[in-house]
């Protein structure tokens, strides 16, 4: 990937707090117009990375660029072109949502006031806060604060939107709305976000990076991550004497492993295969030819959670 196509690039970025190495060495590559999910367990270094990118923390090692500008030297210029939603959104409680958005907008725009007001109204509408725009923020619920957080992050038409746990405090409806807003915003902005909700990542993201214990352990397009997550597995539910078939299946060259579980007189096999086309052609026939009743035969779908856990486990070994 050409470095000009990258919105964020870091080289050996690291941060230590006294003896604690919160981030060891991060080489991140976030391409333009991507919805980039930054994943990791608690304390993996996600929020530290975001704060380093924003200039709220100073790196102890390495460095990075956002939109071609240095994250330490050009921090204020970078912040003029990005939007940020913190993990725990905090605003001035005495202000209303409208005042907060106008205040935020005026860090970027000196006028005209009519255009600023128009933009504020657009943002209020975007996040569905029309009925509450003129109420002080102290009366807002967690979800409403989160929506306001997204609105203020987007108020300046940012080239890059950095969201720290955007859906964390939302109910299912709120989460769905946030994902929709993210998808809409991705037409104009690159979105870099971290989350624990892997289901959401699979729905909206196109690229993923996984960080563990302060180190980047994987960075890839999400499809590549899911397809290259290891062997394809078939889940097969059977009745009958399966001993002979079990031996035969295990002996096939394209089978890398069979796991068997028995419950209520039914046996379920999880057959991992290295050659999916061979499995498609021969696995089911092999079972039937052994006189087994096949009650269910399906390809087990890989999900991001499995991939994530495998990668995290693998990185600990």
Answer yes or no: are the C-beta atoms of 275 and 254 closer than 8 Å: yes
Kindly identify the residues of this chain, within the stretch 69-88, that bind another protein according to CB under 8 A. Answer: 76-77, 79-80, 84, 86, 88
Interface with another protein, residue 138, by CB under 8 A: no
> 92: how many CB neighbours lie within 10 A of its CB?
12
Interface with another protein, residue 111, by CB under 8 A: yes
Checking DSSP bridges between strand 266-273 and strand 232-239, what pairing results, if any? antiparallel
Kindly identify the residues of this chain, within the stretch 141-160, that bind another protein according to CB under 8 A. Answer: 156-159
- 96, 104, 205, 252: residue in contact with another protein (rule CB under 8 A): 104
- 106, 139, 250, 260: residue in contact with another protein (rule CB under 8 A): 106
Q: Provide the H-helix boundaries in 127-269.
A: 142-154, 172-185, 198-204, 222-227, 243-251
Interface with another protein, residue 109, by CB under 8 A: yes
Q: Which residue, 170, 126, 134, is CA-closest to 152? A: 126
Residue nearer to another protein on the CB measure, 184 or 280: 184
Interface with another protein, residue 136, by CB under 8 A: no
Interface with another protein, residue 63, by CB under 8 A: no
Provide CB contacts within 8 A for 215, sequence distance 6+: 24, 25, 26, 45, 315
* Rounded least distance, CB 93 to another protein, Å: 9
The C-alpha angle with vertex 29 and arms to 27 and 30, in degrees rounded to 5, equals 145
The C-alpha angle with vertex 279 and arms to 233 and 226, in degrees rounded to 5, equals 35
* Rounded least distance, CB 307 to another protein, Å: 31
Kindly identify the residues of this chain, within the stretch 174-203, that bind another protein according to CB under 8 A. Answer: 188
Interface with another protein, residue 51, by CB under 8 A: yes
> 172: how many CB neighbours lie within 10 A of its CB?
8
Interface with another protein, residue 107, by CB under 8 A: yes
- 103, 254, 270, 297: residue in contact with another protein (rule CB under 8 A): 103
DSSP 250-275: HH-TTEEEEEEEEETTEEEEEEEES-
* Rounded least distance, CB 56 to another protein, Å: 4
Q: Which residues bind another protein (CB under 8 A)?
A: 51, 54-58, 76-77, 79-80, 84, 86, 88-92, 94, 103-104, 106-112, 115-116, 156-159, 188
């Amino acid at each position: 990937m050409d470095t000009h196509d990258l919105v964020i690039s870091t080289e050996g970025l690291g941060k230590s707090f006294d003896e604690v190495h919160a981030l060891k060495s991060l080489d991140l590559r976030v391409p333009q117009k991507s919805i980039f999910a930054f994943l990791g367990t608690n304390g993996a270094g996600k929020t530290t990375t975001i704060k380093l990118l924003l200039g709220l923390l100073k790196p102890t090692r390495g460095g990075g660029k956002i939109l071609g500008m240095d994250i330490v030297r050009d921090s204020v210029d970078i912040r003029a072109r990005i939007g940020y939603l913190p993990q725990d959104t905090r605003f001035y409680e005495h202000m209303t949502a409208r005042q907060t958005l106008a205040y935020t907008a005026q860090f970027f725009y000196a006028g005209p006031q009519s255009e600023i007001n128009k933009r504020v109204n657009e943002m209020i509408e975007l996040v569905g806060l029309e009925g509450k725009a003129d109420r002080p923020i102290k009366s807002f619920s967690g979800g409403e604060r989160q929506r306001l957080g997204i609105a203020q992050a987007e108020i300046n038409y940012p080239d890059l939107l950095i969201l720290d746990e955007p859906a964390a405090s939302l109910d299912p409806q709120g989460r769905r709305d946030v994902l929709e807003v993210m998808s809409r915003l991705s037409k104009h902005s690159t979105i870099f976000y971290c989350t624990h909700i892997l289901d959401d990542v699979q729905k909206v993201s196109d690229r993923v990076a996984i960080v563990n214990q302060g180190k980047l352990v994987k960075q890839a397009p999400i499809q590549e991550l899911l397809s290259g997550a290891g062997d394809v597995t078939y889940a097969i539910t059977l009745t009958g004497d399966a001993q002979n078939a079990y031996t035969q299946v295990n002996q096939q060259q394209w089978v890398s492993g069979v796991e068997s579980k028995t419950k209520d007189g039914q046996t379920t096999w999880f057959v991992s295969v290295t050659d999916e086309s061979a499995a498609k052609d021969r696995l089911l026939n092999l079972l039937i030819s052994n006189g087994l009743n096949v009650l269910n035969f399906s390809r087990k779908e890989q999900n991001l959670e499995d991939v994530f856990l495998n990668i995290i486990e693998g990185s600990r070994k």
